[in-house]
Copies of this chain bind each other. A is one copy, B any other.
């Protein structure tokens, strides 16, 4: 196949969601906006909805005939884009599996194992190389540099520089900047999760990413914001496969976040720097501990 129709399938599934609570659908351009896809894809979705008897479609009329059932949805495995599949598969190999630093990475072999063409793997590796974990030998293979303590130290060194600066900039955002409201919402969510931490500590990972990204964005510097991608992906995958003490670790981090957030809200530079440093220090320690 030249191209997977995952965009179609994913949008189709989301369209079934829209269909649950309504007895007709909006216009094609409007649907396109709602689902974030082009009209071409919308029309493919409408065609299929009609085929499986979910709607009656004639020009502007899109009447819902019945509610969607579980079988109407495409299975979730089919809605992931190829690059997501490659990313997951690759990250599992290098973080979970016993991948030695210095190991060669073979495009062809990777492609065969994942069951995809080499082009996609190549493009993934090129995109991934900016994370500093792999390196290309021109006209030859890639070399895995490995998820080592050195990597973690270099990563956190830059992270700390960037986050301290961003946090300081946060205090100078104008009072009517939307970031303040988002910060309040994030603080509230922290308290909510902490109140039921035993059951909800798994939600921390996503919350953590959202909070730190918000802080980094205050720098108004694309390089600082982009760099946060690297941190996010490392934490995301690393914790996904390393769950020792997750509950306790997350609870502690959330407490620190709350102190950090209050400091931001106070707009007091010294207080902000202190809280930020404290949190970054323990984040670094946690990361380093979990590597060895």
Contacts and interface: CB of A to CB of B under 8 A. Distances in A.
Interface in A142-182: 151, 154-155, 157-158, 161, 165
A85 to B, nearest CB: 15
A245 interface: no
A17 interface: no
Interface of A: 7, 119, 122-123, 126-127, 130, 132, 139, 151, 154-155, 157-158, 161, 165, 220-224, 226-227, 230
A84 to B, nearest CB: 11
B223 A154 contact: yes
A154 B122 contact: no
A139 B222 CA distance: 22
B132 A223 contact: yes
Given A119-B119, A132-B226, A158 B221 contact: yes
B165 A222 contact: no
How many copies the complex holds: the figure is 2
Taking each of A139, A155, A223, which has the highest tally of chain B beta carbons within 10 Å of its own beta carbon?
A223
Nearest to A155: B223
A222 B130 contact: no
Given A132-B226, A154-B221, A157-B223, 14 more contacts: A7-B139, A119-B119, A123-B126, A126-B126, A126-B127, A130-B130, A132-B223, A154-B222, A155-B223, A158-B221, A158-B223, A158-B224, A161-B161, A161-B165
A127 B220 CA distance: 23
Contacts of A122: 123
Contacts of A221: 154, 157-158
Contacts of A119: 119
Nearest to A135: B222
A120 to B, nearest CB: 11
Contacts of A224: 158
Contacts of A151: 222
Nearest to A133: B222
27 contacts: A7-B139, A119-B119, A122-B123, A123-B123, A123-B126, A126-B126, A126-B127, A130-B130, A130-B226, A132-B222, A132-B223, A132-B226, A151-B222, A154-B220, A154-B221, A154-B222, A154-B223, A155-B223, A157-B221, A157-B223, A158-B221, A158-B223, A158-B224, A161-B161, A161-B165, A223-B227, A223-B230
